[in-house]
Every structure is written in structure tokens, then in C-alpha cells.
């Protein structure tokens, strides 16, 4: 699993827009090329200064108060079986929190049109909260994939950090370049006893976790990194890229949103995020961006936090993949 273009610098590549690009809400060719090189070679890139910090602060204020309630009342299961991290999606009912530069960021959509192909499908919304003071608890190295996945770009997660994102606040550990030749055969396979919150496992198919010996072999090629990002940045991660939630030793929640984009060719026809009917125009008009929105619009009193925790990235049943090559 070597990275042939790895030059020794282990940190993620960053793309900083020029003033002209910010005014146009569009990258020029050099930054598009740089972002695509990062995604193809690392499976990860940081887009700098593409979200209004006031919008980030507003969302973080709401979600921090909500997190107090979720944790106090034990509403959410812990993510990846470690008592340090929960899924927590953004507020969707109140239009005051629905910002185009968060949900339909033109720089994100421009890059994903190039990486995934024309008009990627926006069909996934959730978020991730690393709880404070977690005493060195960390997740195992894993992928958010519990099936034998394609070995080509088929899905990308855009993470929007709502606070400073660094090792002291529990920035995620990423294994850059791990997406390049990874397969389900390198993951722990499910047995009848295997369980995982927020995921349905099938016996003989992968769990999320990467085999320990595969992790250690990769460490010798290219060790992991914990990037530092600021409010206003967005991280793009190829879904195949290995990662792990890390301890948040600060006094505050470390919240980041997660928005998912699928390639048009990939045959998952059922994954849709759930959104309130009252906000249907916001989501379906998609700010005029070249993206397809797949969402179920439900009554406003629906529990969107719970409903958007239920998702499946695998192919639709009618188009299951052939057995993996050994």
C-alpha cells in the first residue's frame, strides 16, 4: 500500500483561495489541480477559509447546548463502540441555521464535480462530536464501510469543523493515502457475534475496523496524522480513507458536521437524508449548485437527529457487487 508520490511530508495538503476566487466562489485551474492531486494521492484535502466563521459559531452555539441534553439523557449511542464520541447532526428545522456556504458550499461542489464526476449526489447529513475530557480514549483505525466496496472514488465526506480542530481538541486521526489500494479483505470480517451501533453487519462481510497487522504494515509506509484546521475550513475525505476518532482533552465539545456526496455511477439508489418539509425549498433549490439532492421531506415534528443516524452506503440490493477477488 505504498504511496508512490509520498515525499516525506505527512500532513494534509491545503487549498487556500485567492481573493479573486473568493469573490467568484470558484477555484481557478491551479487550485482545482492541487485539490484533485490531494484527493487522488492522499484521499484527503483541506479547503481553507471557505465558510463564514459567524455561521460556524452560530451552529456551534446551538449544537453545544443540544449536546448537553443528549449526553445528560444518554440519547445517543457511542460511535464505533468507544465511550468518547457520538453522532450529532446539525439543526435542520430552523432556517436561521441553514447556510448555503455550509450545506451547498460552491468550492466543495466544484471539486467533487471534478473528483466524483458531474453532478454528485448529496444524500447524507450527520455530524460527529468528540466529547470533552475523554482520558485518552480513542477509536480503532477503521473505514465507515461495512461491505466490499469499489476500489475507485465513489463517495466523499465533507467535514465542517465548528471549533478549532487540532490534537488537543480531538482532531480525527487520518491515514493519508490509505484509500489508494485498500479493500474489504483488509478489514475484520463480521462473525455472528459482531455488533456495531449505527450499522448493520452481515456475517462474512467487513466490519469497519482495519486488521491490526494491516494497520502496522501501513504505519511503516506512511504513519497517520492529526490535522489542525480552523473555523471556516472544510475537510474532504474519500470514504475509503482510514481514520480514527481521537481523545478530546479540552473542556469543550469538538463538533464537526458531515455531509456526504455520492458519484452518479455508484448504484446506491436508496440513501437519502431526512429534512423537514418546511425547509424543502432550501434543500431542493440547492443554491443553484451543480449537485443532485436526494432527501426525504418529512413532517417538521420528525426526529431528524435519530433518522439521519440511520444510513447505508452499500449498493442497492438489486445491484450487489460480485464476490471480491482474493
Buried residues in 180-215 as b, exposed as e (16+ CB within 10 A): bebebebbbbbeeebebebbebeeebbbbbbeeebb
Binned at pLDDT 50, 70 and 90, residue 81 comes out as: low
The per-residue pLDDT for 252 is 95
Sign of the torsion angle spanned by Cα atoms 63, 135, 250, 138 = negative
The per-residue pLDDT for 3 is 40
d(CA 201, CA 81): 14
Sign of the torsion angle spanned by Cα atoms 129, 180, 211, 150 = positive
The pLDDT tens digits for 5-39 are 444 568 999 999 999 999 999 999 999 999 999 99
What is the average per-residue pLDDT within 191-197? Answer: 76
The per-residue pLDDT for 84 is 80
Q: Cell numbers at residue 199, please? A: 450499522
d(CA 157, CA 235): 8
What is the average per-residue pLDDT within 68-79? Answer: 81
Fold of 33-319: Jelly Rolls (2.60.120)
Average pLDDT, the chain: 92
The pLDDT tens digits for 116-133 are 999 999 999 999 999 998
Res 283 pLDDT > 90: yes
Q: Cell numbers at residue 132, please? A: 470533552
Binned at pLDDT 50, 70 and 90, residue 318 comes out as: low
Please report, for the chain, the start and end positions of each structural domain, with discontinuous segments joined by +: 33-319
The pLDDT tens digits for 206-257 are 999 999 999 999 999 999 999 999 999 999 999 999 999 999 999 999 999 9
d(CA 50, CA 33): 17
Helices (H) and strands (E) in the chain, counts: 8, 14
3-state per-residue secondary structure call for 87-102 = ECCCCCCCHHHCCHHH
The per-residue pLDDT for 74 is 83
The pLDDT tens digits for 244-261 are 999 999 999 999 999 999
What is the average per-residue pLDDT within 308-314? Answer: 93
Amino acid at each position: 500500500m505504498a504511496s508512490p508520490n509520498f515525499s516525506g511530508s505527512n500532513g494534509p495538503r491545503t487549498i487556500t483561495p485567492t481573493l479573486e476566487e473568493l469573490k467568484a466562489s470558484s477555484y481557478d485551474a491551479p487550485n482545482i489541480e492541487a485539490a484533485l492531486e490531494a484527493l487522488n494521492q492522499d484521499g484527503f484535502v483541506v479547503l481553507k477559509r471557505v465558510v463564514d466563521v459567524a455561521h460556524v459559531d452560530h451552529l456551534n452555539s446551538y449544537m453545544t447546548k443540544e449536546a448537553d441534553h443528549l449526553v445528560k439523557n444518554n440519547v445517543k449511542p457511542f460511535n464505533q463502540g468507544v465511550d468518547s464520541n457520538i453522532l450529532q447532526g446539525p439543526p435542520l428545522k430552523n432556517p436561521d441555521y441553514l447556510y448555503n456556504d455550509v450545506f451547498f458550499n460552491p468550492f466543495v461542489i466544484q471539486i467533487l464535480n471534478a473528483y466524483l464526476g458531474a453532478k454528485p449526489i448529496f444524500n447524507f447529513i450527520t455530524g460527529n462530536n468528540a466529547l470533552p475530557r475523554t482520558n485518552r480514549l480513542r477509536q480503532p483505525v477503521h473505514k465507515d464501510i461495512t461491505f466490499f466496496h469499489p476500489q475507485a472514488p465513489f463517495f466523499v465526506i465533507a467535514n465542517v469543523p465548528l471549533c478549532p480542530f487540532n490534537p488537543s481538541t480531538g482532531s480525527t486521526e487520518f491515514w493519508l493515502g490509505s484509500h489508494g489500494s485498500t479493500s474489504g479483505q483488509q478489514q475484520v470480517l463480521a462473525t455472528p457475534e459482531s455488533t456495531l451501533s449505527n450499522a448493520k453487519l452481515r456475517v462474512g462481510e467487513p466490519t469497519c475496523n482495519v486488521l491490526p497487522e494491516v494497520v502496522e504494515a501501513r504505519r511503516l509506509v506512511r504513519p497517520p496524522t492529526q490535522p489542525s484546521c480552523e473555523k471556516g475550513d472544510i475537510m474532504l475525505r474519500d470514504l475509503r480513507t482510514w481514520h480514527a476518532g481521537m481523545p478530546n482533552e479540552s473542556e469543550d465539545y469538538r463538533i464537526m458536521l458531515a455531509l456526504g456526496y455520492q458519484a452518479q455511477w455508484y448504484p446506491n439508489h436508496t440513501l437519502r437524508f431526512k429534512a423537514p418539509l418546511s425547509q424543502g425549498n432550501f434543500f431542493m433549490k440547492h443554491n443553484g449548485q451543480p449537485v443532485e439532492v436526494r432527501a426525504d421531506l418529512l413532517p417538521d415534528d420528525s426526529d431528524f437527529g435519530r433518522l439521519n443516524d440511520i444510513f447505508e452506503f452499500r449498493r442497492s440490493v438489486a445491484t450487489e457487487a460480485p464476490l471480491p477477488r482474493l
